[in-house]
């Protein structure tokens, strides 16, 4: 009888020790890193189960789907949120579960560059695999209607900035954010504009800013360029700016502007028509909007590229022609 008792006691002690070891091992499991070899990207589809997520981790070579994961799933019963996750090296098992439950998904950037056309913006959106296409095949009229801007032109109406988003965000969502941002920026800058500008409405400011944006990338020159165009508008002089001609040519432009292009009339040809073109010719940034709203004082009516990114400004046509001879014909 004593032998049986001692045997049972030994068995119980062994079972208790084994249970304690397993419990401590499971506790240690929650504090151990999921992986150590560089950042890992984990994608959870909507409705993904905990076991499917563990299998994905195993496929990625981060862990082994053993009993500890199964026990963790039963004890904690985590409610995982769909999305793309960036798992840093050293992230523990419990930290990962917390990240997935909180929905701390990976953030991406999409930058709209100053001076892009609306067509270029749409091309960049369509070619980005992180962005879900919703309005890819919509024409401009339908797209702008979706944004609550019926009978609006699309060119120029999206603010160049860097926008953060999560994978799976739609192109419509990003366009809506950029459209709201432009409306806000245009309202604020129009409200603080210089008095007596030859601009009747905010859309005129948007058009002028787009021309400034395409004419110079030099921050120090934007207000001076805007000043030239404002003075031309004030005296009824044609703007005569090449970027508007190029925009009107569209796909017919082969990279070189010719004299025949300047003479061929179309709504955006500021060599053949007075005043501003009917729409913006690009997406202007805040700096270009500010320059158009606060043009620099001066007397210059002309400017020509020096070929190094800067421009030579002139008051008279004779001075301008001399500058053209020096900087354009001289280069040829």
pLDDT value at position 20?
46
Ranges for all domains in the chain classified under CATH 3.30.1490.480: 30-106
- The predicted-structure confidence for 110-136, as pLDDT tens digits, reads as follows 999 999 999 999 999 999 999 999 999
- The predicted-structure confidence for 49-105, as pLDDT tens digits, reads as follows 889 998 998 888 888 888 888 888 888 788 999 889 999 888 998 899 899 999 899
Which token pair is 208? 């002028």
Q: Report how far residue 50's alpha carbon sits from residue 74's, in angstroms, rounded to the nearest whole number.
A: 10
Neighbouring C-alpha atoms within 13 Å toward the C-beta of 235: 11
pLDDT value at position 17?
44
* pLDDT > 90 in the chain, percent: 61
Contacts of 238 (CB under 8 A, 6+ apart): 232, 270, 271, 272, 273, 274
Ranges for all domains in the chain classified under CATH 3.30.160.60: 299-332
CATH class belonging to 299-332: alpha beta
pLDDT value at position 8?
56
Q: Report how far residue 289's alpha carbon sits from residue 287's, in angstroms, rounded to the nearest whole number.
A: 5
Q: Report how far residue 312's alpha carbon sits from residue 132's, in angstroms, rounded to the nearest whole number.
A: 46
Q: Report how far residue 84's alpha carbon sits from residue 129's, in angstroms, rounded to the nearest whole number.
A: 13
CATH of domain 30-106: 3.30.1490.480
Instruction: Round to the nearest angstrom and report the end-to-end CA distance of the chain.
Output: 114
pLDDT value at position 236?
96
pLDDT value at position 66?
81
Regions of the chain with pLDDT less than 70: 1-27, 329-332
pLDDT value at position 33?
87
pLDDT value at position 26?
55
pTM for the structure as a whole:
0.83
């Amino acid at each position: 009888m004593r032998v049986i008792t001692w045997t049972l006691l030994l068995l119980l002690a062994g079972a208790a020790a084994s249970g304690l070891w397993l419990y401590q091992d499971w506790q240690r499991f929650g504090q151990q890193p999921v992986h150590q070899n560089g950042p890992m990207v984990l994608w959870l589809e909507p409705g993904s189960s905990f076991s499917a997520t563990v299998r994905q981790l195993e496929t990625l070579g981060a862990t082994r789907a053993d009993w500890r994961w199964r026990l963790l799933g039963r004890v904690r019963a985590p409610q995982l949120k769909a999305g793309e996750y960036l798992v840093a090296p050293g992230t523990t098992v419990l930290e990962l579960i917390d990240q997935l439950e909180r929905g701390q998904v990976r953030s991406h950037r999409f930058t709209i560059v100053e001076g892009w056309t609306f067509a270029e913006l749409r091309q960049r959106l369509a070619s980005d695999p992180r962005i879900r296409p919703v309005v890819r095949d919509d024409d401009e009229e339908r797209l702008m209607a979706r944004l609550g801007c019926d009978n609006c032109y699309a060119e120029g109406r999206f603010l160049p900035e860097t926008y953060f988003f999560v994978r799976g965000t739609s192109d419509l969502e990003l366009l809506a954010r950029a459209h709201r941002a432009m409306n806000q920026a245009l309202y604020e800058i129009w409200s603080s504009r210089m008095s007596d500008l030859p601009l009747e409405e905010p859309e005129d400011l948007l058009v002028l800013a787009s021309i400034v944006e395409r004419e110079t990338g030099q921050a120090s020159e934007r207000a001076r360029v805007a000043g030239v165009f404002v003075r031309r508008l004030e005296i009824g002089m044609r703007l005569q700016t090449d970027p508007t001609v190029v925009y009107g040519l569209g796909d017919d432009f082969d990279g070189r502007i010719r004299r025949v292009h300047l003479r061929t009339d179309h709504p955006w040809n500021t060599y053949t028509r007075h005043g501003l073109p009917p729409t913006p010719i690009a997406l202007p940034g805040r700096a270009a909007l500010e320059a158009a709203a606060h043009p620099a004082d001066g007397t210059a009516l002309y400017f020509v590229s020096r070929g190094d990114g800067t421009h030579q400004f002139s008051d008279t046509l004779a001075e301008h022609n001399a500058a053209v001879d020096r900087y354009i014909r001289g280069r040829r």
